[in-house]
A = this chain, B = another copy of it.
Amino acid sequence: MAAELTAHELTAQHRPTLDQALEAIRTRAYWSPHPEHPKAYGENGSLSMAEGKAAFDALLGSRLDLGQPGTDDWVGGETSPYGIELGVTYPHADVDVLLPAMRAGQRAWRDAGAETRAMVCLEILKRIADRTHEFAHAVMHTSGQAFMMAFQAGGPHAQDRGLEAVAYAYAEQVRTPDTAEWTKPQGKRDPLAMTKQFTPVPRGIALVIGCNTFPTWNGYPGLFASLATGNAVLVKPHPRAVLPLALTVQVAREVLAEAGFDPNLVALAAERPGEGIAKTLAVRPEIRIIDYTGSTAFGDWLETHARQAQVYTEKAGVNTVIVESTDDYKGMLSNLAFSLSLYSGQMCTTPQNLLIPRDGIRTEEGSKSYDEVVADLARSVDGLLGDDARANGLLGAIVNPDVKARLEAAAGLGEVALASREVGNPEFPDAVVRTPVIVKLDGARKYWEGADDEAAYMNECFGPVSFAVAVDSAGDAVELLRRTVREKGAMTVGAYTTDEVVEEAVREACLEECAQLSLNLTGGVYVNQTAAFSDFHGSGGNPAANAALCDGGFVANRFRVVEVRR
């Protein structure tokens, strides 16, 4: 077909952005082309706040026909954590028809080369960015994130992570030149001369298995890394968070077609309730790459069984913050309070275990006992969430009944330092909104002593649950940190200390156990947030995840280079 978007036009428009992204991943200084403020949208083709809301409302109850081959049914049934039925239906695929159709366009996509693929990916991201306000509602009403977070994390931050993956993918592919002339001297004889062509080739079809809480943020890196390296991409969203990824697939298919490529290079695999299609797809021989975010159990299953594929998993971990000493006690408390509260702790990066010496900590206000620190932190969370409107804006809604059940059970695990409370949401009365619970545990009390403290803090309790774990010393805290990362994995580690020896011990533990460390955060950066182009999300070196977002290792095996020499 004649392309409406030529490679030349796309390059003129997007190459400067790619170049900036390439520079950013090299320097890791701050950079983003995607504005974070809702008011920055509404001009130059992007939807305004009102337009985005209207576009989302128009989707409710609709059939999202993506024009996919092999569509044998229409499925859907998402209920927002805020209580509303989305009523959107999506194509259900006969994978024996869809998968072959996805391969049909791979040769042209491969032959287009790394730069054109990057430019098409950037155009997809640009059109998604223009609809950020629409995506914000889609993310909000599937993940339960509050609007502002859904807007930022589901919009510009997710787009940043997608662009970052495109930049890494592009850089990796162009490390080898397209052609080389090789001339080897042979003494007095004529030199040997060869012409060599190098072509990045895709592995096949990539499968992205989305999650409920961050469908775009966690979905985009794998999606764009695989697409930019020449693979077709099948997106299998979480059944409760289909819409944001279905819209993404829709945009990708539009752009591919306009650029003269087969839209079936990107497709959606929505499923019937209980169908469990991920397990079926994951072991299909056509599937050569899998990106997954979710439970450790299924991530481990994928790593064990999907042997025909490169498998990138982000699973569960137990995140620790060591609180040893600080010179900004209030800053520490408010920073921690925010981290525990944001999205009701439903982030893979939220701290779970706060390790605090039982003899207390040193602060610029003098020493504070363990009990004081925990009480002050509880007060700080209470203060942050005292106003219901503000609480709703930070907490969002509980994403599913399992989280609610865990939260309710947590109060029985130890002495409750801060009880969870219900927050009413006037706009969405059916939303389940809860403040975090903080439970006191004792790190020296092992399960064999008749208590189950260790059983509690050594397991992930996903949701708004934190444990204030009393430890004997800073050294014990570091040892427990080490053991937790080694056995359970961690997406994040935090520490507050003014003691250089303690800092060095924590740092060394993180280097040896391979965990990302944030030190003494007291301002507007939080341990549970990472910035694309600068911060790595996960390390890929502990049990929480086998890959990091984003580095060379995340992209280098999504394609191979075939050499033709003559």
Contacts and interface: CB of A to CB of B under 8 A. Distances in A.
Contacts of A185: 30
**DSSP class of A's interface residues: helix, strand, loop or mixed?**
mixed
A245 interface: no
A194 interface: yes
A30 B535 contact: no
A192 B535 contact: no
Given A182-B28, A561-B539, A514 B201 contact: yes
A563 interface: yes
B110 A511 contact: yes
Contacts of A561: 536, 539, 548, 551
Contacts of A199: 511
A313 B29 CA distance: 38
How many copies of this chain does one complex carry? Answer: 2
B566 A541 contact: no
Contact of A565 (B512, B518, B556): B518
A552 B170 CA distance: 13
A543 to B, nearest CB: 10
A137 interface: no
Nearest to A173: B552
A420 interface: no
Interface string A178-197: 00111111100000101010
Contacts of A517: 562-565
A98 interface: no
A192 B508 CA distance: 26
Contact of A552 (B26, B172, B518, B562): B172
B201 A512 contact: yes
A563 B540 contact: no
Nearest to A175: B552
Nearest to A191: B30
Contacts of A401: none
Which A-B residue pairs are the 6 nearest by beta carbons? A541-B560, A553-B556, A28-B180, A519-B566, A552-B556, A553-B557
Interface of A: 25-30, 107, 110, 172, 175-177, 180-186, 192, 194, 196, 198-199, 201, 203, 303-304, 307, 507-508, 510-512, 514-521, 523-525, 531, 534-536, 539-541, 548, 551-553, 556-557, 560-566
24 contacts: A27-B180, A28-B176, A28-B198, A29-B180, A29-B181, A30-B182, A30-B184, A30-B185, A107-B512, A172-B552, A182-B534, A184-B531, A186-B524, A196-B535, A201-B514, A304-B307, A510-B564, A514-B562, A516-B562, A517-B565, A518-B565, A552-B552, A552-B556, A557-B557
